[in-house]
Amino acid sequence: MGSDANIKSSNAKMRQCTTILFSFAGIFLAAYAVVNTSFLRNSDVPKASSSIHKILVESSAKAQQSIKPQIRANAERGPDDADVVDISDAEFTSIRHIFQYGTPRTASTTQFNIVCVSLFLHIRANSPELINNTICTAAGSFRNDEQSYKFMLQQDNIPQAVKSHVSDPDPRHIHNSTFVFATANTEKDAERMELTLKKQYPNNTGIIQDLETLKALGMDYWLKIYAKFFRLSSDDVKLMSEYFQIWNELRQCCGMQMSKSFRNDILPSSQKNPNLKPHPFCKQSNAESLESSFMSTELYKIIAPYPLMRKMNRPAAVDGDLDGTYCKRYNDAVHEQGLPENAEVNYPATWINSMYQEVETHWGEELGNPFRAIEHLIERKVG
């Protein structure tokens, strides 16, 4: 009997141990299943250690494998965490002056237009009494030339953005009220440029935009960064997104700085360059419809009543004002007359709006004394 009791007790203990073992096995298998299922759901991620695997799984840019790692990292962290100059509430009043520069072919015109419109919206929200004085000025193609800085008024009552092609800004001409913005070709170039500028202007370095990231992540990514710097609202970002999307398309297909390939598409047959491929977008688009769409944007309508800002509503500052038929007339002139790039248009229509006669006619005066010419415009409140 004692022996039977011992056997029963031993069997009971074995069953208890077995139950415990199976419980542990079940927990282990369940945990394995979770991990394995998670891995299978992300089977396109290479095998790696658990910490690296976690980082890879959480990446939001798997669809953009061609984008460089640092650019991808910037996209994942978002513009809210980007290295954007931000003015503390205690010091913040209103941004007044911008000096923008960049070498050709680095999307410097794109940055200048975004900065100019951002400044306009910033003044509209924070210093509306100065909105009629807000102006954006292209300093021409001067490089390391004192004349570039003559365009900078740097007066408190005249909010202004100035575009230049100097290779490096001269600190002697940059006041404490002026922020310096720039463009670069690659992300690495932008990082080097930012380090240099922050040494010269520790509190006045604006946004350094690079063409590489612009192509990879698009304009909307950058618009959010500019919006943070200029303290613009989410509604302003929406306005700019619509505006610049169409403007970017329009400027390729219309005006004095249109795409070289599209200009070649519409030139007379005798002047076409056979080595240039057709423009993929403009060839299939209607410039007149693009012009109409651009003029219909809400931001275009907001800018239009302000004569000193109206040049921003053109495909390029050297163009005439849009009127619904400008692009068709310009492109017809190119097709019929074979106009060279940046040539003055000799065509029956009035290409330059009479309200801008002072700017266009007195360009020589601006070169000689830009302060007098711009101040003259502001005093007259043309329009």
Q: For residue 343, list its beta bridge partners.
A: none
pLDDT at residue 78, rounded to an integer: 54
Instruction: Provide the token pair at 360.
Output: 């266009």
Contacts of 1 (CB under 8 A, 6+ apart): none
pTM of the model: 0.69
Tokens 């924070």 label which residue?
Answer: 126
Instruction: Provide the token pair at 205.
Output: 């370095």
Of 377, 379, 373, nearest to 151 by C-alpha is 373
pLDDT at residue 17, rounded to an integer: 52
Walk along the chain (383 residues) and give the pLDDT tens digit of each residue.
Answer: 444 544 445 555 555 555 554 454 444 444 444 334 333 233 333 333 333 333 333 433 343 444 555 554 555 555 544 444 444 443 446 899 999 998 888 999 999 999 999 999 999 999 999 999 999 988 765 444 566 677 788 888 899 999 988 778 888 888 888 999 999 999 999 999 999 999 999 999 999 999 999 999 999 999 999 999 999 999 999 999 999 999 999 999 998 888 989 989 998 888 888 898 999 899 888 999 999 999 999 999 999 999 889 889 999 887 888 999 999 988 888 888 775 554 444 432 333 333 223 333 333 343 344 444 555 544 443 33
pLDDT at residue 28, rounded to an integer: 45
CA dist 301 and 180 (Å) reads 28
pLDDT at residue 129, rounded to an integer: 95
pLDDT at residue 198, rounded to an integer: 94
Could you tell me the domains of the chain? 75-232 (3.40.50), 233-351 (no CATH)
